[in-house]
Every structure is written in C-alpha cells, then in structure tokens.
C-alpha cells in the first residue's frame, strides 16, 4: 500500500512532529490554514474517520484527547477539529486524520 501518512508514521517521509504516543501521531500540516494547523492521525491505517470509528473507538477517542492536550499546551483560545471524509467532504489524503485548527478567529459556516 502506498500511503503518504503511513510513510510519515514509519519515518520514510519527514514531518514536523508535535506529539505522539503508542497509537497516535500529531504533526504540523504542510499547508497551514491557520496559525495552528496540526494533523492528528492513528498510526494504524484506516481510510477515513468512519472506518476508524467502526474499527477502533478507543483510538478515535485518543485523537480528540491529543487535540485537547495540544490546545492546552498552546493555550489556544478555542479551536476547531475537523474530519474531511470522501470527495465532497474535501478529503485528499485517504488515511484518517483529524485537523486541529486554531490561533485565529475561524469562520462559520466553512466553505
């Protein structure tokens, strides 16, 4: 399988790592949309958030727990967590990833 984020997990492709534990890795998005834009991913491969939720709810919860830890460490004044799923959802990398966005006032609704 040829997966960009699996290659980041193994270290074959470099990334700016923010935090990790046994199951989860957080790294800076290469094309940030906010002053803080971090991707939080399961180390195991799942195509999207729905696949992850069906297979491992514990790790799904760990993604949000890590988002909170990072937001606390950065003392963000609020933040947004987003899973884009499928083509119309705007997903471009098909390894589940939680976007953590913050550091500015975010617009709602999103485009």
**How far is it, in rounded angstroms, from Cα 82 to Cα 13?**
24
User: Of 81 and 84, which CB lies nearer to ligand 5GP in the complex structure?
Assistant: 84
Whether residue 99 lies in the annotated active site: no
Radius of gyration for the alpha carbons in the chain, expressed in angstroms and rounded:
13
Binding mask 39-78 for ligand 5GP (x = CB under 6 A): x---------------------------------------
C-alpha torsion 10→63→38→51, nearest 10: 70
Separation of alpha carbons 81 and 79, rounded Å: 7
**CB closer to ligand 5GP out of 13 and 55:** 13
Part of the chain binding ligand 5GP (CB under 6 A), chosen from 29-37, 51-59, 60-68, 101-109: 29-37
Give the residue among 57, 55, 42, 58 at the shortest CA–CA distance from 96. 42
For residue 93, the partner it binds in Zn ion, ligand 5GP, none, with Cβ less than 5 to 8 A by kind, is ligand 5GP
Q: How far is the CB of 94 from ligand 5GP (least distance, A)?
A: 7
């Amino acid at each position: 399988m040829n997966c960009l984020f699996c290659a980041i997990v193994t270290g074959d492709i470099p990334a700016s790592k923010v935090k990790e534990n046994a199951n989860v890795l957080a790294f800076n998005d290469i094309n940030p949309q906010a002053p803080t834009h971090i991707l939080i991913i399961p180390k195991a491969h799942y195509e999207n958030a729905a696949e992850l939720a069906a297979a491992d709810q514990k790790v799904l919860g760990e993604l949000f727990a890590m988002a909170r830890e990072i937001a606390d460490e950065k003392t963000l004044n609020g933040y947004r967590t987003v899973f884009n799923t499928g083509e119309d959802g705007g997903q471009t990398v098909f390894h589940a990833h939680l976007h953590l966005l913050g550091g500015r006032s975010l617009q709602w609704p999103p485009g």
